[in-house]
Amino acid sequence: MHDEPKRKLKTIDGKAAGHDREFSQKESETLIGHVFDDRWKLVERLGKGSYGAVYSCVDLTVRRRYAIKVENRPPERRSAVIGIELQLFSALNKSNAMHVPQLFGHGSCAPYNYIVISLLGQSLSHYRHASRAKRFSLATTLRAALQMVECLREVHDTGYVHRDVKPGNFVTGRKKLHNISIIDFGIAQRYLSSTGVPLQARTEVGFRGTTRYASIHAHQHQELSPRDDYWSLLFALVEMLTGKLPWDTCKDKAAVQSCKYYAITNGTLTAGLPTSFHYLLAYLNALTYHDLVDHRYVTTLFKLDLAAHGLPLDGPADWELAGPPRHYIPTETGPEITPPNPVRYRNGGQMSAAAAKTGSERISAFTYVSGSSDATNTSPGSPRTPGGSRGRENGRGMNSGMLRGVWSVKKLAERGLSLMSDLII
């Protein structure tokens, strides 16, 4: 459930409008059997939010089943939720995106607005909670990660950020259970202008997303960008692999924010997890609001980790197996990977020919905080301490293994970045 659902939203024509009333449990149930525009018959409620619900429906003209999202808004006051989703679905379908539902129709039947999309399967959150261990195997997590990155790439390529990335918003196909798509664009927002340049960030922004998976920037009420979708992806992957997050016991949003910051800065978020998770953490720390994410780099991380663990790129997901999967055991001596350095993309991802040739816009080698007071560079791209040690204590009593993947203060200063990028500021 999204935070701040009752704040005023802008409609497609720019007029401010608030929700008139909530979509009650009783109202959502009474709509079952209703037919919109003599075509779309609601069959079963699949889920419900504060101001709308999602149903399975039958197209009476062809007798096929779809999903239909219904909002109780008068047609003349279409809310931003339906409007944004229509825009985004249209753009994604036009670009032949493969990891989003297809849009089949939309309309208004007072006091409701609706959109009709592909009927997909269960969410990753459903499968995780349905499993005995409440977590996935390493193979399933990394393979899912590859598809989740592709989902985000398709959304970001349209110039939008999702702003509510979480396992519950990634679903499988109804028949192809290992195919993953992204859903629920109700709080998505345009990030790039028509010329491909990041829009000016607002100085005051309400919290957007789901507290458990939101980035630190969301907690700080900052404008969100593609990096924030990837922060949420990292949190989701940690939960999928381990069955938990460091802030599970936190009682309120402020406590969650503090715990997230601590887990990120001291390395406990990814302690004992595959090397790709450490690289991704370090990479996200280095990104600013204006940076686009190098999707190919992130994909490479997960592919290299699959190979390092002797796992094929393709294979059945845990929920397709008859027996229990082999779960990942956190370790401090897992296999190393050596990915190429990521590219820093800005202003719509355009790079000059000279920069592309010389690599001057590539993010430099990762470094680690050594056992001494000075930061020491490792080999290009390596977030580990010498010899692969992960548990060595440094002179300040801090576990240097927890800091692997975080750039050195000196290197960050050279690039005009503060430690933890701009999470602190």
From first to last of its 425 residues, what are the pLDDT tens digits of the chain? Answer: 444 333 333 322 222 233 344 566 677 778 899 999 999 999 999 987 656 789 999 999 999 999 999 987 755 555 667 788 888 999 999 999 999 999 999 998 878 889 999 999 999 999 999 999 999 999 999 999 999 999 999 999 999 999 999 999 999 998 888 899 999 998 999 999 988 889 999 988 999 999 999 999 999 999 999 999 999 999 999 999 999 999 999 989 999 999 999 999 998 999 999 999 999 999 999 999 999 999 999 999 999 999 999 999 999 999 999 888 888 988 877 888 988 888 877 644 443 333 333 333 444 433 322 222 233 333 333 343 323 333 322 222 223 333 333 333 233 333 333 333 333 22
User: Which one is catalytic: 164, 229, 291, 318?
Assistant: 164
Strands (E) in 60-169, as ranges, are 64-71, 103-109, 112-117, 160-161
| Preceding peptide of 111 cis, ω within 30° | yes
Long-range contacts of 384-393 (CB under 8 A, 24+ apart): 384/275, 384/336, 388/333, 388/336, 390/332, 390/333, 391/332
How much is the pLDDT for 79? Answer: 60
Cα–Cα dist 14/17, whole Å: 9
Spatial distance between the Cα atoms of 92 and 11, rounded to a whole number of angstroms? 20
pLDDT of residue 361: 44
Asked if 164 is an active-site residue, the reply is: yes
Six token digits for residue 377 = 């560079």
Q: Where in the chain is the domain with CATH 1.10.510.10?
A: 124-414
Predicted local confidence at residue 78, as pLDDT:
54
**Domain 124-414, CATH:** 1.10.510.10
Task: Check residue 262 and give its pLDDT.
Answer: 95
Which residue, chain included where needed, has tokens 């204006």?
290
The number of residues in the chain equals 425
User: Quick one: residue 58, left, alpha or beta (phi over 0 = left, psi -120 to 50 = alpha)?
Assistant: beta
Tokens matching residue 351? 């790079």
Can you tell me which residue has the tokens 């062809």? 62
Q: Which two tokens stand for residue 419?
A: 């430690």
Region(s) of the chain under CATH 3.30.200.20 = 22-117
Backbone angles phi, psi at 272, to 5 degrees: 80, 5
% helix, strand, coil for the chain, step of 5:
30, 15, 50
Closest CA to 42 of 29, 51, 52: 29
Q: Are 44 and 37 in contact (CB under 8 A)?
A: no
CB 246 within 8 A of CB 269: yes
Q: What is the pLDDT of residue 20?
A: 40
Q: What is the pTM of this model?
A: 0.77
Question: What b/e sequence results for 81-107 when a residue is b if at least 16 CB atoms lie within 10 Å of its CB, and e otherwise?
Answer: bbbbbbbbbebbeeeebebbbebbebe
Q: What pLDDT, on a 0 to 100 scale, did the predictor assign at position 244?
A: 96
Quick one: which of 218, 248, 241 has its CA closest to 230? 218
The DSSP secondary structure of 201-236, one letter per residue, reads: PPSS----S-TTT--HHHHTTPPP-HHHHHHHHHHH
Please say whether the structural domain 22-117 has been given the CATH code 3.30.200.20: yes
271: its two tokens: 């302690």
